[in-house]
Structure formats: structure tokens, C-alpha cells
Chains A and B, each alone.
Chain A
């Protein structure tokens, strides 16, 4: 989707057009769900994704600037609110993704190494600090640029670059015992 199409959808959604709102939701639902899968327990991901879109609808008239940055800021706020409501910081449990990978490995016997590498990587992401995991999710898994990541995490671009270096270095350390798969 190019910028013009996105602007058209946003304008339509702001004026209450159901089709535009549905298209916007269908376009970004998988991205937000993916973000949630790496930020919260797997069984919460769908519910919190749903909550993100309800908040998007409520606040759409105030949206300015980069839409993905605004969207993921809301997503992160939903994550934080959920943790507060739960009364304690939850550990990220990404068992559902692991199960999905294992199922894919079962379906396709020719890619077990790749799938095993995904599982290792996912488990390593789960062991990162919260801000490192958020950066890895936004920058590499969601594919956002430094400007958007900087806006979402409310940090300077310089701080984002440092965090990125440390997150990748931490992952390297966590994957150190798996040289065959990663060549580290």
C-alpha cells in the first residue's frame, strides 16, 4: 500500500466509512498481531490486538504524522496498560509461535534446520530485556525505520542505534551455543 492509498483509507475511516475502516484493520491487523506475539503472552495477543484497533478508532481524529509509528505507540500503550492491570510485569511467553514453527517443520520435513533456528531465535528474543525486545520487534520483525522506532520508543535516534547494537550483541550471546545454525 502506498502513501496515497493509506491517506485515502485514513480519511475514509475518519469520516466513518465502514469499508475504509475494515480495509485499514485488515491491512494492519497481522502486523499488530505479530508485534503482540513478541510482546505479551501468546494467549493475550489476539485480545490486545483487538483492543489496539478499538483505541485506533477512538483516537483516529487525533492521528498525525507517520501512521505506523502512531499505531505501534498505541500498541505499546495497550501492552503497558495490560501489564499494569495484571499488577505485575509478565514474562513474555511465545509458546504459540514455537508450536506454529514446530507444526510447519512437521509439515515440511525439508526445512527442519530453518525451523529449529526460528525457535532458537524466538526463545532468545524472549530472554532479552524489555526495551531490547521492543526494539528488535519494531526494527527487525516489523521492519520499521529508525525514525519510526525512535518516535514509538520515545528515544533519540542515537539512543536507538546504541540499543540496537546491544540487542543484537545480546542475541549473539544467547545464540552462542548454536554456532552451527547461526555461524556466530
Chain B
């Protein structure tokens, strides 16, 4: 019994030493009388620590994250337990409200599901519809322009995704990309000076980024090289056009005159490069 307790304690001490970086031989050097009994146990312990990890399936991990997401949602919507009333015993208006709510939830779910949809996907038209609805529900000009910049950025992402998936980028999507950015900056004359500078500089930055992205297509021997080069060149033209209005002081009006900013910006809008 005492012998076993001695081995128990010595084994634990040796395991700590091995875990700390010593070899089994080094750890046992201090306990020569126990080496024969402990060496095989230390050897097995070392081999246990070297067992490989199981393959983690992405599906399993995603399922877990999905359960956690549902759990979070349920917790955040936790409410007292409803009274047990038979559904069909409720008044007519309650049933109508329930139907509207269910339809709303279905619609909301579809809208959410469509957020990542790409051209050709079943839900892509829902995504475009949602964008339009969101735009028309936005009353502020500045916010509308911001939305258009977001939409333009999305069109580029969709064109790239489509090109990667099918090998072809749809020129119609690239047209929309350019048009959304153009319409965004055309709102500039209606904004106050700092906001219009900010808007145009954001649009110019996005346009430069779009030009670089399209340039990558054309430099890799893409089958649509000529078509995409047209859009890339247009991005270059538009970027240059936008930057014309970003130079400080260019638009400043003399203090003793009627502000000239608005007309200048309007004239600038008319100069937007087009096909």
C-alpha cells in the first residue's frame, strides 16, 4: 500500500516534469528505484497526449452556432408564458392580426434570407426589391445617396461573384454599379458643403476601388477583357471627374456675393462622363 502511494506521487511528479519539457529519462533520473515501474506509464501518458484531434465537421459546428443563434433570439424575446386559449376561440380581429403577423414573419424571413443572394439565385429579385423599397422609404436625400453608394458597392461584389461562379460578368450589373454611383453623387448639390464633399469623396474612393477590381479581371486574360476594360475606363473617367470637385477652395464663393457653390456643383453634374 505504501509502495503504491509512493509510486502514485512519484508518477504525478514525473508527469509534471515531462509536461514541463523534460524527457522521460530526465524525469526518471531522480527516481532510479521506480524507473522500471514508471517508465511504461509515462510512455503511455505521452502517447495519449499525442493522439490526433478528431475531424471537426463544418456542418456540426454550423449547426451548433445555429442553435446558439436561436437560443439568443429566444432569450431576447423571452416573455411570460401565454394563457392557454384555444386559437379559434379568439375574436375575428385577433385571427386577422395573427395571419398578418405570420405573413410579415414569412416575408421578413425571406427578405433576410435574400440579403446574401447573388444574380441567378432564386431570391435575388427579392434582394433588389428590398433595396428599392428601402430606398423609397428613405426620405432624406443624404441617406438616399448613402444607400446608392452601398448598392453600387453590392453590384460590384455580385459581378465578381458571378464571374467566379460562371466565368462571365453580366454587363447589366456593371451598368447598375456605375449608375448607382453616378446617381449618388448627383445628389451632392442638394447637400450642405461638408456633407457634399464627404459624399463625393466616398463615391470617388468607391469608384477607384471598382476600377482596380475590374483592372484585375482584364489583366488575367479574361474572355470578356474588352467589355470589362470599357467599364474600367469609365470608372477611371468618373473617378477623375469626381476628384475635380474635391480640391479645397475651388468651390468657395466670395463673401459679398450670392453663394456660387450651387451653380458650380450643378454645372459639374452636367459634365459627368457618359458612354
**Binary contact track A35-58/B, C-beta < 8 Å → 1, others 0:** 001000000011001100110011
- Within the complex, the shortest CB–CB distance from A181 to chain B, in Å, comes to 9
Number of contact residues on A: which range applies?
A: 35 or more
Q: Mostly helix, strand, loop or mixed at chain A's interface?
A: helix
**Residues of the B chain whose Cβ atoms lie less than 8 Å from the Cβ of A136:** 48
Q: Decide: B64 and A25 in contact? CB cutoff 8 A.
A: yes
Neighbour of A121 across the interface among B7, B48, B68, CB < 8 A: B48
A21-B72, A25-B65 known; A141 and B49 CB under 8 Å?
yes
Is residue A63 within 8 Å, beta carbon to beta carbon, of the partner chain? no
Could you tell me the dominant secondary structure of chain B's interface residues? helix
Say whether A161 faces chain B, with CB atoms less than 8 Å apart: yes
Contacting residues, chain B, for A156 (C-beta < 8 A): none
| Candidates B5, B8, B45, B71; contact of A57 at CB < 8 Å | B71
- A residues neighboring B (CB under 8 Å): 16, 18, 21-22, 25-26, 29-30, 33-34, 37, 45-46, 49-50, 53-54, 57-58, 96-97, 100-101, 104, 117-118, 121-122, 125, 136, 140-141, 143, 146, 161-162, 164-165, 168-169, 171-172, 175, 182-184
26 contacts between A and B (CB under 8 A): A21-B72, A34-B53, A46-B57, A46-B60, A46-B63, A50-B60, A50-B67, A53-B64, A53-B68, A54-B67, A54-B68, A57-B68, A58-B71, A97-B54, A100-B55, A121-B44, A121-B47, A121-B51, A125-B48, A140-B48, A161-B12, A162-B5, A164-B15, A165-B12, A169-B41, A183-B40
